[in-house]
Amino acid sequence: MGLVIQKYGGTSLGDVSKISHAAQRIAAADGSVAVVVSAMGGTTDAMLELARDLTDNPHARELDILLSTGEQASAAALAMALHELGVPARSFNARDGGIITDGVHGCARIVNVHPELIRECIQAGYVPVVTGFQGIAAESGELTTLSRGGSDTTAVALAAALRAEVCEIFTDVEGVFTADPRYVAEARKLSHLSYEDMAELAAGGATVLAHSSVQYAGTHRVPLHVRSSTTETTGTWVTGSRSTTPPDGERFTAVGVAHRTGQLRCRLDGVVPTALTTIAAMLADPALSVDMLDHLAADGSGHSLRFVVKATDQDQVDGVLADLRAAGAFGECHWSGPVGKVSLVGHGFCARHPQVRLLPGELATHGVTVRDMTVRTRRISITCAEYEVLNAVRRLHRMFLSADTHTDPYSHAGRSPGGTHADLSSYPGRSPRDTHAAPYSHAGQPARGTPHARAEAPAGTGEIRDTTAQGPAQPHLLESPARWSAETKGG
């Protein structure tokens, strides 16, 4: 068995017994293991609350230093537990581990990994325990933190740099489900997902994997195994076995439902036509959580754009919009909400499909008022009132993913890996020489300010028009989306 990267989340390191259990699992592993850890459960939130109690506007550098202490404590504690079991171990902070970022405090992106010290540690028979969620700025040398879920990204980046055989993500659930099993009793664990489908689920609100970690894994072909930290059962494999052509061509097939609350809707009026691409490019910054960007029908007051964003990112988006408005890109900005976002992920979606055209009405008969809907090949997203979100999730799951209506979208992609580990060199979609792409570098990430999509021509208020484009999943802006909206010019 080659090198395995194991990542343990906060819920898997929540107390002494859980840390000891993680150490026992590591000690029992076959072959070499390197570990990445999150802060113990609730630690990051406690640090954020402390900062808010001290100031309404915490200094970005000091906040990063404060938040980074959680992962450092976890790494040291787990290394101690391994030593207690007779397993040589050493904790690594971001500087020792060679995790290099672009230097943006609070939402840094990994741009490179220099794992020489970690590699030497492994070769000497030690288990390196590396802090997730943080890195060292390439230019200033300052400590920076990644966005939420950044420990997943750290683990994948380290797996790519060390050319690990697999990156195992240990969490408090048994894998990735067709919907959140806490709210949908019929949700089923998926044995396998492609990188693209997992990325869409993450963009839609699934929290089991950070979106950026899936992007990096897809770029560098790092196999992911999402599994429970408390059982030995096989979880969900995320690989590139179906990275090009959807099964059965463009057949309408659902994979899962994801949801997210705490969203705000923003509408820009009086948009200058020549500024559409510029606005889309600015809003495509990975540091922002912009989604469902739609070009509404032009009327007497000009063009309009509408999108949704996490409420916690409103101030950041307002800063971007202020610059655009000052440059004359648009006239007015209107915020409304909060709303919820519900997304159906799959393949072969298009606005002309009967099930898509009837979807708003079908949900309405079950008490869900669809305010906006965007359609693209791999994801259909709607907005609705927050109190209607779970009803919408359950209804979409029943419509498209119930046992009597659902077809396994990977039934033609080959078997899912079985057992604890698998020979991934022969897994569908991976040639023996395609163990990994080039060593981890900045090339796996979209540049800040680079648009994922262009603004599309007006689709006509209140109707669905099929402008869905083919192509890989995009995390924030919908590429050539078909658009349905319940609004005329209101919020």
pLDDT digits (tens, 9 = 90+) for 261-285: 999 999 999 898 888 889 989 998 8
Q: Tell me, what's the pLDDT at 253? A: 87
| Secondary structure (3-state) at 131 | strand
Tell me what the pLDDT averaged over the chain comes to: 81
The amino acid that residue 358 corresponds to is L
Is the pLDDT at 179 greater than 50, yes or no? yes
By the 10 Å C-beta count (0-12 exposed, 13-18 middle, 19+ buried), 48 is classed as middle
Tell me whether residue 233 is exposed, middle or buried, using C-beta atoms within 10 angstroms of its C-beta: 0 to 12, 13 to 18, 19 or more. Answer: exposed
Cβ atoms of 64 and 21 closer than 8 Å: no
In degrees and rounded to multiples of 5, residue 436 shows phi and psi of: -155, 165
Tokens in use for 316?
Answer: 């950041």
Kindly indicate the confidence band of residue 299, based on its pLDDT and cuts at 50, 70 and 90.
low
Residues 6+ apart with CB under 8 A from 244: none
Q: Is the pLDDT of residue 243 over 50?
A: no
Strand partners for 355: none
Cβ 91 vs Cβ 75: under 8 Å: yes
Which has more confidence, 357 or 436? 357
Lowest mean pLDDT among 193-207, 365-379, 441-455: 441-455
Contact at 8 Å (CB) between 78 and 126? no
Q: Which residue has the higher pLDDT, 417 or 110?
A: 110
Query: At residue 424, does pLDDT exceed 60?
Result: no
Where is average pLDDT lowest: 37-46, 124-133, 249-258?
A: 249-258
pLDDT band (50, 70, 90) for residue 409: low
**Cα separation of 264 and 372, whole Å?**
12
| DSSP labels, 225-256 | EEEESS--S--EEEESTTSSS-TTTT--EEEE
Top pLDDT among 95 and 416 is at 95
Q: Are 362 and 306 in contact (CB under 8 A)?
A: no
200-212 mean pLDDT: 91
List Cα–Cα distances, 214 to 20, 55, 222, 474, in angstroms. 28, 35, 9, 12
Strand 332-347 with 379-384, pairing: antiparallel
Which of these, 188, 67, 216, lies nearest to 134 by C-alpha position?
67
User: Which tokens in the block code for residue 323?
Assistant: 């610059």
Q: What is the structure's pLDDT at 436?
A: 33
Amino acid identity for residue 341 in this structure? K
- The owner of tokens 């005329």 is 488
Helix (H) or strand (E) holding 283: helix 276-283
Give CA–CA dist 134/64, Å, rounded. Answer: 8
What's residue 302's pLDDT?
73
Q: Which of 280, 266, 286, 257 is nearest to 401 (CA)?
A: 257
At 18, the pLDDT band (50, 70, 90 cuts) reads very high
Question: What pLDDT does residue 356 have?
Answer: 87
Please tell me the distance from the alpha carbon of residue 407 to that of residue 206, in angstroms, as a whole number. 21
Residue 241: is its pLDDT beyond 90? no
Distance CA 266, CA 273 (A): 18
First and final C-alpha spacing in the chain: 56
pLDDT of residue 214: 94
Q: How far apart are the C-alpha atoms of 389 and 342, rounded to whole Å? A: 7
- Of 454, 450, 452, whose CA–CA distance to 467 is shortest? 454
Band (pLDDT 50/70/90 cuts) for residue 301 is: low
Lowest mean pLDDT among 377-381, 388-392, 393-397, 461-465: 461-465
Confidence category of residue 295, pLDDT binned at 50, 70, 90:
confident
